[in-house]
Each structure stands twice: as structure tokens, then as C-alpha cells.
Structure 1
Amino acid sequence: MHAMQYHVDLPADYDMDIIRRRVLDNGWKTDGLKGLLFKAYLITEKNKYRSLNNSYCPLYIWTQSEDMTDFIFKGSFDQVLRSFGWKQIRIAITYSVHLTNDFERSKYVLEEYVNIHPTDCLEKLEINHCFSHVKGNKGEVIIYNPDKWKFVKYTFLHSVPEHIENHIRIYEIAHLSLDHSCL
């Protein structure tokens, strides 16, 4: 499985309801998309949940790299290019994916980065001990990129916990597209 994400930074005075309406009108188009385990339409809104800016940052988890490639190069990603301009797509490999039966009830995502420090034995890394743990999560996805030697953990939640470490970013989920046959 592969993860794919692009970031669209929006002006501080941008009306985020424009993005919410866009997702409401179009989010269903990726429901059940071939090879897509899920797409989380993630947004941040300035001064909400500690966010310093407005952004749209969808996260895709693909079961097949061929389907991700088709999405990018066979017309589907062109709508993103036309709407938001040329965007860098971050690609990573999934380390683990754990989704609960009520994953689709997720409303928020916590994003936490952890560096993979130089070592002579990657086999002994205790990956799960590197991250913060949040109770009541609906799912966790850990991805890595050996090009940058970083892990990223996405924790899916129904509500935002009262206490979250400062280095963790909080996203609101505007829509969650799923392939129920893969869950």
C-alpha cells in the first residue's frame, strides 16, 4: 500500500466554507474508487484547533500503486491541477494500517512526524513507541519515507482530545471516501 498527499495552502482570510462546499459537491466521486482504501479530505482552518493557517490536504491510502498511478496520470488529478495549480505530491509507503469497524465515523485526524535516526540495525526499531498514543481512536495509519527517513502517524478520531502535544497537527475531515470491500 502507498500513501499520497498534497498540500494546498490557502490565504489567511480564505473562506473555508468554499472548500467544504466543494468537498460536499464532489467528495462522493472517490467513494469506492478502484484501488483506493480511503481518501480523507483534510482541512485546517486558521485559529481553529491550534492551526496557524488555512489548508486543504487530502490523504489517500492506495491498495495498489498502479491505481494511484492511473489516478495521477489518466485525468483524475488534472482537476486538482486546474483548481489549485501545480502541487507536489508526497508519496510514502505504509508501515501499518489499523482501522476499526466504525472508522467511517472519524471526524478528525492527528498528524505526528517522527524522524528515523541513523542506526546500523533498523530491525530493532520500536516504531509504535516513537509516537504519542490517543485513546478512542477509530484508526491509525503509519507511513514512512526512506528518502527523508521519517515516519508519519495519522490517528483518526471522532472528537479532538483535550490534551494534545504541541508538535501534533490537527485536521478536520470534510469527507471520508471509503472502499467498504477493503475494510
Structure 2
Amino acid sequence: MYAEQYEITLPADYDMRIIRERVARAGHLLDDRAGLGLKAYLIRERGVDGSPVNQYAPFYLWNDAGAMAHFLVGGGGFQGIVRDFGRPPVHHWTGLAVVAGPARATVPAAASRHLAALPAGPDPDATGLGLAERIARETERLHTLARREGVHTAALALDPRDWRLLRFVLWQDAVPGDEDAAERYQVLHLSAPGLDDLAGMTDITVPR
């Protein structure tokens, strides 16, 4: 599993109806895309849910790295973004875990994202397993979170360049006020052709 997101920050007076109409017109095009687990068409609106910006920020979970590469550079869809907005940086993470929530059968209306930097010295026992132990704890926390009412899907992923953990959650309705998330999004559409095939690490047991 691979996670991917790009963020297009728009002017403060930008009419977000343009993005809504764009998604309504073309969002279905990835509904059957081979290799794609899910694409959440996300926006943030300035002044809504604490957002300081207007932003279009689609989020993807891919089952297949080749399909992700084709999307980005093979004329598989990203060319529309480049044509209309320029070429934004694309963030990507290695998927660690994905969990279905009790609202999996619903259409999510909101999403949350939390990015956390891993400690610079994550190996207090000098065993080399400090990171594995942290990931095991975070995965357990993800499973606990995914049992909350209203959770559609929860995912955990790792950026091994800057050593940051990503927690991404789709919610049936609004993101709960007590959810620890820096970014809260509206979901305009969800393409999920390979949702049931998404998988993270098969074994997060820390060896002893």
C-alpha cells in the first residue's frame, strides 16, 4: 500500500464552487481505476473547521506502485492537474496499516490528517527496534480509533525520508471535535475501486 497526496493552495477569495463543479464533473473517472485502493477528493475552505486557506488536496491509497506511477507520469490523470494548476509537489508515504471502521458501508463526508515527526533518537534500548515498537503502538492506536462510531477507514503510513508518521481517517459525518488532527477536510467524492484489497504490514510484532 502506498499513500499519496498533493495540496493545491488557492487564493483567499477563490470561488470553491469551481473545485466542487470540477469534482462533480470528473470525480467518477477513477471509480474503476486498476491498482487504486481509494481516492478521496478533499477540500479545505478558508474559515471552515479552522482552515486558514482554500485548498484542493486529493488523497490516495494505492494497491499498486506501477498504477501510481502511471497516474503521475504516464498520462493516467495527473496531467489534468498540471494543465490547470501547474505541477505541485506530491507527498508520498509507505503504507503501514489500514483498518475498516463501522461506517465503511457509508459515503464519507469528512476526513482528518495528522502528521507527527518521529523522535530523533528512537532507540533507547540500543536494540535497533525503537522504531518498530513505536509503529506497533501507533498501529494499536489506529485499531482503537477505527472502532469509533462514524469511522469509514483509518490508515497509517510512514515518510522514511523525513521520518514522519501520517494518520488519515475518513469519517461518515464531520470530524469529531476531540480528534487529534491538524487538517480537517470535506470529502466531495470517494473513488474506491480497490478498497477491500488495501493492506498494510502483515506483521507488526516486535521481535524479542
TM-score between the two structures when normalised by the length of structure 1: 0.91
Q: CA RMSD in A?
A: 2.1
Change (3 A) 1:12 1:87: same
Quick one: which amino acid aligns to residue 133 of structure 2?
A: K
Is it true that 1:139 corresponds to 2:153 in the alignment? yes
Query: Match of 1:71, SS?
Result: helix
1:5-20, aligned counterparts within 5 Å?
A: 5-20=5-20
Q: Which runs of 4+ in 1 moved over 6 A?
A: 129-132
The answer on 1:78 being equivalent to 2:79 is yes
| Contiguous gaps of at least 5 residues in structure 2 | 124-128, 198-208
* 3-state SS of paired residue (1:138): strand
| Equivalence map 1:19-168=2 (5 Å) | 19-75=19-75, 76-100=77-101, 102-103=103-104, 104-117=106-119, 118-120=121-123, 121=129, 122-125=131-134, 126-128=137-139, 133=145, 135-136=148-149, 137-164=151-178, 167-168=181-182
Structure 1, gaps ≥5 residues long: none
Aligned residue number for residue 190 of structure 2: 176
> In 1, distance between residues paired with 2:171 and 2:188?
13
Whether the 8 Å CA contact 1:9–1:53 is kept in 2: the answer is yes
Structure exhibiting the larger radius of gyration computed from Cα positions? 2
Q: Residue 114 of structure 1 contacts residue 130 of structure 1 at CA under 8 Å; is this kept in 2?
A: no
* Cα drift, residue 95 of structure 1: 0.9
Structure-1 separation of matches of 2:4 and 2:38: 11
Deviation at residue 164 of structure 1 after TM alignment: 3.1
TM-score using structure 2 length: 0.81
Aligned-residue identity in percent:
27
